[in-house]
Amino acid sequence: MTTLYYTPRLLLTLIALITITVPYLADYNPTHVFNPTWPGHARLHNGQTMSLGVYLGSMTLWKTWSSSSEQDRLWTATVIAAAYYVTQGSAYYYPGATAWDPPQEFGVPYVHLYVVVPMLALVGVAYGLERWRFVGEGGGKEKAG
């Protein structure tokens, strides 16, 4: 197999592993999960978000390395890999949403977009590289076998 064959899969695998682990690194701490000022409903949504990361990352890994058709695998893995970052970017449009909770402060507004935009760019690169490979290996048609 060529490097071009594995590069998109490795990029999607990296994205999946980041999606699974970073929400816990960022949120399983005194400013989020253990924040005594948070009401129970806020904790519920924080837990949902962390679980969403595990679910989406796991689905990305499964579809990236599954034996389904290459184009189906690519499209499904790409959509799953992008979902967490699309929803994270959209969170700023909810009323009262802020990037940080007290006692933290950060001088850059919309700081999470510094994560969202690069991650979506990586998803786009992985998708584009794999589409390019498909075209190079037979005009976009699936390989036999």
105: left (phi over 0), alpha (psi -120 to 50) or beta: beta
For 36, phi then psi, to 5°, come to: -65, -15
Per-residue model confidence as pLDDT tens for the chain (145 residues): 567 778 999 999 999 999 999 999 999 899 888 888 887 778 878 888 899 999 899 999 988 888 778 778 888 889 899 998 888 888 777 766 777 766 667 677 677 788 889 999 999 999 999 888 888 877 555 544 4
pTM value is: 0.66
Contact, 73 vs 143, CB < 8 A?
no
